[in-house]
A and B are shown apart, each in its own frame.
Chain A
Amino acid sequence: KVAPPLAAIMALTELIEKSTAGTMFELSGVLDKGTQQLTDRVPNSIGLNAGCELFNLFVTVATHDLGVLSDFKDKLVRQGNQYIAEAALYSEKIAGFTNGFVKDGSVILTHSHSRVVMKALLHAHKRKRISVYVTEAKPRGLGLKTHEMLTAAGIPCTVVLDSAVAYVMDKVDFVLVGSEAVVESGGLINATGSNQIAIIAKYANKPFYALAESFKFRRLFPLSQYDLPTHGPGILPFPRQVPPPTSVTNGQSPSDDLKDAGPPVSPSAGSLARKSMSAEQIALNPEVDYTKPDLISLVISDVGILTPEGVSHYLVGMFAG
């Protein structure tokens, strides 16, 4: 399986290959529609959009050199495939860079599951002894996948409750997370919980490293969590109609029911409050969050080890240079 931005580039490349557009105008129309469809189909399209942006930028720049349309289309397809082949090696490069930061005997905290982080950890494991804490990352629970893979590779690994990150932070040497996207401010967009971990790491004076391939750099500049494209009125609203309080039984106070966005708990015989969130409740929660650049120590990417400011220089150079 492939990172979302690369998947987007693959899709767009295929689209061009199969398109029967006769003029450049039609071709860009095809690309636009493709991009739009990708964005609409997938709820969390931040990664996909990064890939689309990069590919569209490339097409725009390449258009300066427009010859015969069929040759041009071939060129685009070729370049697209070439880039995908190259980009598969980026995570190797990043693993190499990260290796320098891992000391023998390091205790590393990571969040959820990330391909790049896995590669980096396995690479470091070859020469050094490391132990890893991984957060459960509810509701998708991808942290358990990370735990499985690391244990299979022989790395001592323990799953940490999302709420126990502050508890464990003093034991940790540094935090390593992957990314969905790195934005123009130098901040990070990653699975929900990354921001929390970053804040705790900052308070405990631990380095926070984000691993991101260069195709994840995006020209977004969110000023807060609520500026993210994934945020909307459907995320974490209060219920519009407060259900009437049920009779007080089982020691439950009426206020508990009011906070529930789902149906009120019926005090049937022997039932206590639900042990885990319902699907509707989960759907009200965000999938990704934004970590501000001042919480991030370094962004390790295939273009080099960057400070968060360095990332914004890069993006401006790429898109405006």
Chain B
Amino acid sequence: MSGDVQTDAYQRNVEALVSKLRRRYRFMSPEVLTAGLITHLRQIVGSRRAALETLVVLRQVVTKARFSNIEQLVEIIHGAGRRLVEAQPKGTSLTVAFPGRHNMDSTEFSVGNTVRKVLHHIREEYRTAAKKVPEDTALSISKLVYQGQPRRRGMAPKSETDVDLKEDDLDDTDSFSRNLKPVFMEAIQDVFDELETVYDSISKSAKDHIHSDEIILTIGQSTTVENFLKAAAHYRNFTVIVAETGPTYQGHRMAQSLSEAGISTFLVPDSSIYAIMSRVNKVILGAHAIIANGGMFAVTGSLLAATAAQAHSTPVVVCAGQFKITPLWNLYQDYSALDFSDPSNVLGFEEGDLVDKADVINPYYDYVGPDLVYAYITNDGDHPPTSIYRLIKETYNDEDIEL
């Protein structure tokens, strides 16, 4: 990298977010406190918040970055993205679609996805602004095959002026960045706006998906699903059955929030999901991450609900923001849990006898295959699981999949 591209301020910003992300542990037990400084609080809760914080950091990175051609900027953002992703608490079992130097075991995918989205926008803006003929115009057979790649059409370019981009200009090293920075900042602002309005966009179609007097089953506490159901409640009268979601019992909070909004809510234990499924019209779930084959990771218990629904031919609908769509694959079919949380929630230390004799596992997420999901409702529209692959090709660039 030529030029002084890593200023102190940029470093400080990245470090701040890195330390905030590092403090995110699911263990709440005091025994695990380590020396001094680190306190085990979840400083950043939720994928959307992580994505928003990432955007804030990226915005500052781009503002302060100094670059004289597009590759330098991409390299800077890649570097920042890599550090942010590596700061995640390590999970298991996922790896990159294009395996390279290392496995990216992380559990908060929205960070990486946001970085990739920003890079995608930046590349698009650069392409429109540059308007220069790419070096490899010669038609070749392999180019023909790559034409098969789905491309998003009709993105309105931001730069109207026909500026002559002076890349790698030695006399005026800042001219390139000066000309394009405002354009890039606008692009980042677009991603910001999309993230801010994600709940509203998804909830817009709520009244069309839920009919009167329907019985909906949900599990866990997903803000997206909560907003979706509350939005529908303005237009329709329906009942929601919330499963407790042990051992975290997030379902309790969800049920409370929904009933405070005036929705008729039932709270049931996870074990009765199959038993009541014959009375349920729809299953609406939230997702932690949607992966490249159309499957998803969701809170433990989701696989139970989805399988029970399939046995009764009940549609399973997943509400998730587009920033959750991840270009990764679930390579290990048996380990679906990404993250394990405190086993004492399942079998407490007070059962002294059993603690020695039993292996206690408390997985946090389930992998739900694409054949179990009927449709994904995202802020970008509704898609069947088979189209997720296509969405990924349109939203992210291949070169950015491995940061």
Interface size on B, residues (CB 8 A): 29
Q: How far is the CB of B113 from chain A (nearest CB, A)?
A: 18
- Contact B148–A318 (Cβ < 8 Å): yes
What are 24 A-B pairs with beta-carbon distances under 8 A? A57-B144, A58-B144, A61-B139, A82-B141, A97-B97, A97-B98, A97-B99, A100-B331, A103-B331, A103-B332, A207-B333, A304-B98, A304-B398, A305-B292, A307-B293, A309-B389, A310-B389, A313-B389, A313-B390, A314-B148, A317-B148, A317-B149, A318-B147, A318-B148
Q: How far is the CB of A248 from chain B (nearest CB, A)?
A: 53
Known: A86-B142, A304-B97, A307-B389. A101 touches B331 (CB 8 A): yes
Q: How far is the CA of A314 from the CA of B139 in the complex (A)?
A: 18
- Contact B329–A80 (Cβ < 8 Å): no
Q: Which of A9, A54, A65, A100 is within 8 Å of B99, CB to CB?
A: A100
Known: A97-B99, A315-B148. A83 touches B390 (CB 8 A): no
Q: Which of A57, A97, A306 is within 8 Å of B389, CB to CB?
A: A306
Q: How far is the CA of A317 from the CA of B140 in the complex (A)?
A: 16
A55 in the interface (beta carbon within 8 A)? yes
With CB as the reference atom, state the residue of chain B lying closest to A54: B141
B150 in the interface (beta carbon within 8 A)? yes
Q: How far is the CB of A289 from chain B (nearest CB, A)?
A: 24
- Contact A99–B141 (Cβ < 8 Å): no
Q: Which of B147, B150, B293 is within 8 Å of A298, CB to CB?
A: B293
| Shortest Cβ-Cβ A-B pairs, 7 listed | A317-B148, A314-B148, A83-B141, A318-B148, A309-B386, A100-B99, A310-B389
Q: How far is the CB of B60 from chain A (nearest CB, A)?
A: 33
Q: How far is the CA of A82 from the CA of B139 in the complex (A)?
A: 12
- Contact A62–B386 (Cβ < 8 Å): no
A286 in the interface (beta carbon within 8 A)? no
Q: How far is the CB of B292 from chain A (nearest CB, A)?
A: 7
Q: Which of B95, B147, B292, B389 is within 8 Å of A321, CB to CB?
A: B147
A192 in the interface (beta carbon within 8 A)? no
Q: How far is the CA of A83 from the CA of B329 in the complex (A)?
A: 29
Q: How far is the CA of A305 from the CA of B332 in the complex (A)?
A: 15
- Contact A310–B390 (Cβ < 8 Å): yes
Known: A83-B142, A307-B389, A309-B386. A321 touches B97 (CB 8 A): no
> What is A's interface to B at a CB cutoff of 8 Å?
9, 54-55, 57-58, 61-62, 65, 79-80, 82-83, 86-87, 96-97, 99-101, 103, 174, 207, 214-215, 217, 298, 303-307, 309-310, 313-318, 321
**List of B residues within 8 angstroms of A321 by Cβ:** 147-148
B294 in the interface (beta carbon within 8 A)? yes
- Contact A318–B329 (Cβ < 8 Å): no
**List of A residues within 8 angstroms of B140 by Cβ:** 79, 82-83
Q: How far is the CB of B140 from chain A (nearest CB, A)?
A: 5
- Contact A215–B145 (Cβ < 8 Å): yes
Q: Which of B139, B144, B386 is within 8 Å of A318, CB to CB?
A: B144
With CB as the reference atom, state the residue of chain B lying closest to A316: B148
Q: How far is the CB of B100 from chain A (nearest CB, A)?
A: 8
Which residues of B, 303-359, contact A by the 8 Å Cβ criterion? Answer: 329, 331-333
Q: How far is the CA of A207 from the CA of B331 in the complex (A)?
A: 11
**List of A residues within 8 angstroms of B144 by Cβ:** 54, 57-58, 61, 318
Q: How far is the CA of A79 from the CA of B140 in the complex (A)?
A: 6
**List of B residues within 8 angstroms of A313 by Cβ:** 148, 150, 389-390
Interface string of B154-181 (1 = CB under 8 A from A): 0000000000000000000000000000
Given pairs A307-B386, A318-B148, 13 additional interface contacts (CB within 8 A): A54-B144, A79-B139, A79-B140, A101-B331, A174-B333, A304-B398, A306-B389, A307-B293, A307-B294, A309-B390, A315-B148, A316-B148, A317-B147
Q: How far is the CB of B246 from chain A (nearest CB, A)?
A: 27
Q: How far is the CB of A311 from chain B (nearest CB, A)?
A: 9
**List of A residues within 8 angstroms of B386 by Cβ:** 307, 309
**List of B residues within 8 angstroms of A9 by Cβ:** 141
Q: How far is the CA of A82 from the CA of B138 in the complex (A)?
A: 12
With CB as the reference atom, state the residue of chain B lying closest to A55: B141
Q: How far is the CA of A263 from the CA of B332 in the complex (A)?
A: 53
Query: By CB atoms of chain A within 10 A, which of B142, B145, B387, B389 has the most?
Result: B145
Q: Which of A62, A305, A317 is within 8 Å of B329, CB to CB?
A: A305
**List of A residues within 8 angstroms of B95 by Cβ:** 100
Q: How far is the CB of B193 from chain A (nearest CB, A)?
A: 29
Q: How far is the CB of A266 from chain B (nearest CB, A)?
A: 54
Which residues of B, 257-309, contact A by the 8 Å Cβ criterion? Answer: 292-294
- Contact A58–B141 (Cβ < 8 Å): yes
Q: How far is the CA of A207 from the CA of B334 in the complex (A)?
A: 11
